[in-house]
Structure 1
């Protein structure tokens, strides 16, 4: 198993624009795996203008503890910024690792249950 950043890629589905429901799905995958076969982490984003809301995602249990979620989240936030997003909203998590990741990425509580990142 490899965990270096150079051994993974972030895949965006659809490649441009959004799905019919307005979402974009990002996955972190091994470069050597067929597309979509074994994502290490997944984040789904719903965009409305310059605001993005994380509406789903996670790390499969077999891939927990390797930093895949944190790596993908950082890449997704950079992609959102590059696509003109200025604010990212995310539901608060009770998972300690997820909460640490949110704080490390710069998310702050906006209101009960919702955290915000200004890009």
Structure 2
């Protein structure tokens, strides 16, 4: 299996990068399906950032069962090789449309989480 995709909020993608894929996650074979998953996972909430995780290699293809809708449910926890992360832009005037807004590096996503928490610790109220 060459490249698979996972679409969801950026916070969930951070959790996947730290802990690996869990049994509840659905992996898609096409980028379009993952973008639709990312859009549907955040809905019309502008707070959450929809993103698509590009997974280059999975350790064992026997861990996945392919369905007819190009989705693969994980059977058990999997650590995988992450290639890149696409930020998904939703047009809120036409919410059924989604496009790729840019590329994020996995390191920047993890660093962004740490910087955000350290900033909130330093703020005195």
- TM-score where L is the length of structure 2: 0.31
Higher relative CO (Cα under 8 Å, sequence separation at least 6) belongs to: 2
Specify which structure has the higher proportion of strand: 1
Q: Which has the larger radius of gyration?
A: 2
